[in-house]
A and B are shown apart, each in its own frame.
Chain A
Amino acid sequence: NAGVTQTPKFQVLKTGQSMTLQCAQDMNHNSMYWYRQDPGMGLRLIYYSASEGTTDKGEVPNGYNVSRLNKREFSLRLESAAPSQTSVYFCASSGVLVTNNYGYTFGSGTRLTVV
């Protein structure tokens, strides 16, 4: 099925461990995004990539790094996980740089717990 695929779906980390969340889309979209979802706070943008080869910080980038590996793939890395990074992470993509007329396509999320 066409769409955005995220892996893994669930992960438990110990404080200080590192991990990479993977995201791939097969819709030939230019723009990709990483959000985190926390109770009562909606979704907050961590990083985005407007096109292959570019990445920019969003609202809450501290503690994260990203890589736009190619047009299809956009990964999110936690170098040293902290309990405050316990959240549900969503990857999304959009077909155009200017997003005012188009919605995003979201993946099904990664539930991360840091203990």
Chain B
Amino acid sequence: GDSVTQMEGPVTLSEEAFLTINCTYTATGYPSLFWYVQYPGEGLQLLLKATKADDKGSNKGFEATYRKETTSFHLEKGSVQVSDSAVYFCALTIYNNNDMRFGAGTRLTVKP
């Protein structure tokens, strides 16, 4: 079935370090791909999205490129801040499907 696999956490980085969180997917159709962020005690918030191959989603310094050839949607940020500490979820939906599938989440901690 359709699914998303994320790199396991937790990930701990120093401020201003480069961040990569890997995400790969399995889908029978042509999915749209999303990254969500969850801050402590809150619900998930949409961070960025890409709806077709080679699209790049970006927001708040985060980027992810939809790679059909490698079925990947890795999240990157060039210089993380303490305020980026959160849990990050990769997700996908298939056209005309009301089920958004989420990865297990990756906890990021950024230290000053």
B93 to chain A, nearest CB (A): 5
Given A103-B34, A108-B41, A42:B89 Cβ within 8 A:
yes
A67 to chain B, nearest CB (A): 17
B99 closest partner in A (C-beta) = A45
B49 at the interface (CB under 8 A from A): yes
B96 touches A98 (CB 8 A): yes
Of the candidates A40, A41, A45, which one forms a contact with B100 in the assembled complex, judged by CB atoms under 8 Å apart? A45
B99 touches A101 (CB 8 A): no
Complex contacts, A56 vs chain B, CB 8 Å: 98
Q: Report which B residues bind A (CB closer than 8 A).
A: 4, 31-32, 34, 36, 41-46, 49, 51, 89, 93-100, 102-105
What are 27 A-B pairs with beta-carbon distances under 8 A?
Answer: A4-B43, A31-B98, A33-B98, A41-B104, A42-B102, A42-B104, A43-B44, A43-B89, A43-B102, A56-B98, A92-B43, A92-B44, A98-B96, A99-B93, A99-B97, A100-B31, A100-B93, A100-B95, A104-B100, A105-B46, A106-B43, A106-B45, A107-B43, A108-B41, A108-B42, A109-B42, A109-B43
Q: Report which A residues bind B (CB closer than 8 A).
A: 4, 31, 33, 35, 40-45, 48, 50, 56, 58-59, 90, 92, 97-101, 103-109
